[in-house]
Structure 1
Amino acid sequence: MSPRIRSAISVAGVLALSGVLFTASAQLAGDQDTRHRDDLASVIAAESARVEELSEQANLLDDEVDQLGDAVDVDVPRRDPALRAQEAVVSGAWPVAGGGLSVALEDAPISALDNPQVRPDDLVVHQQDVQHVINALWAGGAEAMTLQGERVTSTSAFRCSGNILLLHGKVFSPPYVIEAIGDPDQLQAALDASPGIGVYKQYVDWIGLGYDVQQHDGLEMPAYTGGEGLQHATVPEGTDVFS
């Protein structure tokens, strides 16, 4: 079984037992009138029974993890090493180098506001503009990608607010540079075929938004260093999802 899994189980056990101790302490310190020998004995008995129950649950979970770990240890060596390497690249677990494209998006100059038909919002690179480029590059067969030098994976999420971009807890300003490793001709064809990028190019011609595509022979991309866990939302109990 993986040391990381065993470590997680150990931490969970320590936290559970710590919670028991904190609960007992809170009950003992909560009210002066309850700090009598009879009350103390009942609290200790109740919490001791709870510790025993939690310990049994932890043992059962430990056994289940061991069984799952044994199953993984048997299955993984039989998998195609090339497939495992490809999955590591796509997930961002490994650094990658190779040829591909870079796309730079830049805000329009403030002088474009001299045109009475231009609004301040027109001058800014928006979140959907960056998303159109990323989606087109994936569709064009990109093997790996970065945004502002940050490795983009299937769990990456970014958000634009005004003229700043938030990604992996970091703040970036334009120009926004997306780099993709893959066949340059296919990547370029995917960019040219994107309707969203087509609209963006109209603003490039109209007010001077920045759009620059470059081919590269030796792009280098770091491994993704963020968290690997997927997070999901749940519907609160009692909520009518059909209303």
Structure 2
Amino acid sequence: MQADQGSGTTSRATAPADPSDTSAPPQVRMGLLDYVTATSMDEDYAHVAERAQKDPARKPVRPGVAALVAMGLFGLLAVTAAVQTARNASDVAQGRESLVAQVQRRNAQVDSRRDRIEELRTDVDSLQSRFLEATVRGRALSSRLTRLSVRAGTVPVTGPGVKVVVDDAPGATGPQEQVLDEDLQKLVNALWGSGAEAISINGQRLSNLSAIRVAGSAITVNFKSLAPPYTVLAVGNPDTIPGRFVDTTHGQDWLTLQSTYGLQFRMTSEESLRLPAVNQPNLRFATPGTAR
């Protein structure tokens, strides 16, 4: 098929430029790629190079005196800071070593005095026993002193008794299903009323100065935080304590807590229990009297 020659349309094709035509632009005569390659140097660099060729005696710009002084001051400050940092590090290290040495000396003094206190306490107990055993009245006083010491919790005790383990209800979601401080108080009072001679909770010996109370989210005994389960050891007659416990008012309360709220309670008889002594209390008002 031939194109319609009489349609009146104009073709956009033109004849290639003649390279010998000096009136055409250089990019037309050289070709676009050759022109870009030949003129790739930035015009500013070309201008600078042209000025350098025209004025060869022109000297490069050098930093002024102010710049040199500033650089010198900066170097001096850097050196001074480095020296001061090194001195401070040395002083800190010496101070730390001195503090460590002081702490070690004080710890050694405390250990020495603690050992001396134990020696004096042993000597006092020996002299006291020797004096009390010398007379009938002294032996009676010694027996009474031993009973009071057991009650006060100032001496460790060993003997048969019962072991009671209590804990929160399985999957407890509220205070009613958890062991509270007042629950432990009722348990201890019931054991005292059942004939217990010495009691401890999670290793904390109870005395007439002990307190069972809640502090934050934990129950404290002798100002020590305890965590469940709570193990209560009671030295006494293991044959009579369980029966008497059920007959006490607080014992009945614990049976109600077990059946109603699901608190865990387990009591077993033990042939031998060992309870530690409570820390020696500091006398704040009592003073030794003179013998008549």
TM-score range, shorter chain: 0.5 to 0.7
The gaps in structure 2 that reach 5 residues or longer are: 1-127, 286-292
Deviation at 1:207, TM superposition (A): 3.5
TM value normalised by structure 1: 0.56
Aligned with residue 183 of structure 2, among 112, 122, 129: 129
Large movers: runs of 4+ above 4 Å:
none
CA offsets per residue over residues 88-121 of structure 1, 9 Å max, x none?
Answer: 21111211100000111101122x65xxxxxx12
Could you say which residue in structure 2 is the equivalent of 1:182?
Answer: 236
Q: State how far apart, in whole Å, the 1-side matches of 2:191 and 2:208 are.
A: 14
The answer (yes or no) to whether the contact 1:142–1:181 under 8 Å persists in 2 is yes
Tell which has more relative contact order, 1 or 2 (C-alpha 8 A, sep 6+).
1
2:157 equivalent to 1:103: no
AA in 2 matched with 1:107: D
2:150 equivalent to 1:93: no
2:252 equivalent to 1:191: no
Aligned to 1:145, the other structure's residue is in SS state strand
AA in 1 matched with 2:182: Q
The answer (yes or no) to whether the contact 2:162–2:234 under 8 Å persists in 1 is yes
Change over 3 Å in CA distance of 1:189–1:195 after alignment to 2: same
Deviation at 1:211, TM superposition (A): 0.4
Deviation at 1:230, TM superposition (A): 6.5
Change over 3 Å in CA distance of 1:95–1:190 after alignment to 2: same
Deviation at 1:163, TM superposition (A): 5.4
Q: State how far apart, in whole Å, the 2-side matches of 1:215 and 1:160 are.
A: 29
Q: State how far apart, in whole Å, the 2-side matches of 1:190 and 1:133 are.
A: 13
Q: State how far apart, in whole Å, the 1-side matches of 2:190 and 2:257 are.
A: 18
Could you say which residue in structure 2 is the equivalent of 1:215?
Answer: 269
Aligned with residue 144 of structure 2, among 83, 101, 111: 83
Q: State how far apart, in whole Å, the 2-side matches of 1:207 and 1:219 are.
A: 30
Could you say which residue in structure 2 is the equivalent of 1:158?
Answer: 212
| Identity, % of aligned positions | 28
Bigger radius of gyration: 2
Could you say which residue in structure 2 is the equivalent of 1:238?
Answer: none
Change over 3 Å in CA distance of 1:163–1:188 after alignment to 2: farther
Change over 3 Å in CA distance of 1:84–1:166 after alignment to 2: same
Deviation at 1:221, TM superposition (A): 0.8
2:203 equivalent to 1:142: no
Q: State how far apart, in whole Å, the 2-side matches of 1:228 and 1:184 are.
A: 34
Change over 3 Å in CA distance of 1:162–1:176 after alignment to 2: farther
Change over 3 Å in CA distance of 1:230–1:187 after alignment to 2: farther
Aligned to 2:155, the other structure's residue is in SS state coil
Change over 3 Å in CA distance of 1:200–1:163 after alignment to 2: farther
The gaps in structure 1 that reach 5 residues or longer are: 1-72, 114-119, 232-243
Deviation at 1:197, TM superposition (A): 2.9
The answer (yes or no) to whether the contact 2:190–2:250 under 8 Å persists in 1 is no
User: How many aligned residue pairs are there?
Assistant: 150
Change over 3 Å in CA distance of 1:103–1:163 after alignment to 2: farther
AA in 1 matched with 2:179: V
Q: State how far apart, in whole Å, the 1-side matches of 2:182 and 2:255 are.
A: 13
